[in-house]
Amino acid sequence: MASLKPSSIQNLSQYSPVGTWNYEAETAEGTLKDVMTIALNAEGVYEVTIKSQVYGTLELDDVEFEKMVMTGNVEIEGESIEFEMKFDGESMEGIVYAGEDELVIKAERQK
């Protein structure tokens, strides 16, 4: 009987995106690079803080994390910006929906 080896992919229920992430987001004005911090508060709610040289420090609202995908939003200059980020181990890739624009965001977790 063949033995089953554990998968190299982490069990979805055990994965945690908590940490500090170095991100890059492609915009019409160029590439934004800075730091995103993900924490889990005492109530079990994820808190996402994104630092940006252009917009300052942003705190995402309505953050949800399910099946390796985190979503959230923030209001900038009266416009709702939606984030959808898919995590894969120590990396993340996603889309930022800003009005008619869709911006690619990528990140690597700091060691």
Q: Read off the amino acid at residue 88.
A: D
Q: Read out DSSP for 52-67?
A: ETTTEEEE-EEEEEET
> Which residue's entry shows tokens 């929906």?
97
**Can you give the pTM of this predicted structure?**
0.85
**What tens digit of pLDDT does each residue of 72-97 get?**
999 998 999 999 999 999 999 999 99
CATH architecture for the domain at 19-109? Beta Barrel (2.40)
Whether the pLDDT of residue 6 is over 80: the answer is no
Whether the pLDDT of residue 14 is over 50: the answer is yes
Structural domain spans, the chain: 19-109
What number of CA atoms fall less than 13 Å from residue 93's CA on the CB side?
1
Cα 94 from chain centroid (whole Å): 7
Residue 46 to residue 42: CA distance in whole angstroms: 10
φ, ψ of residue 5 in degrees (nearest 5): -90, 145
